[in-house]
Amino acid sequence: MPGGARAGGLSGPARGARGALRSPSDPFQTLDFRVGSEQRAHPDTVHFNSYPPRFLAGVWVALEDVGEDNGTLFYYPGSHKLPEAGFAELGLRVLNHNRAGALETFTYQDYDRFEDYVEDLVTGH
């Protein structure tokens, strides 16, 4: 197989994730975007999470050239130890999947306030 040997049906990042979680696990979800967008600091757990919480391994793979001026992934060391808070905990309005036409007409109305909260959290303000 190109790229190396396979072990236990998985190779590369998936095999590493299984070892890091120290229990049986399999990759099962992707998020794909036709056009990328610039993002402020945010935890991915507000968009998707696991049960129990913090039992998720995420991998970002760039499918095009990226550099410091066009798409560099960044993180804050130690941010995995910060408290988790979502829209409900912060009293923010969210996307309503149960409303007719919601996906076309309704969005994260308070996402900028959420990003402000995250920025304050990681910078210690």
DSSP for the chain, written as a single string: -TTS--BTTB-HHHHHHHHHHTS----------SS-----S--GGGT---SSTT--------SS---TTTT-----TTGGGSPP--HHHHT-----TTSTTHHHH---TTHHHHHHHHHHHHHT-
125 residues of the chain, pLDDT tens digit each: 344 333 345 555 556 656 666 666 666 777 777 777 777 888 887 777 777 887 777 777 777 787 777 777 788 888 888 888 877 788 877 665 555 555 444 456 778 888 898 889 888 86
pTM > 0.85: no
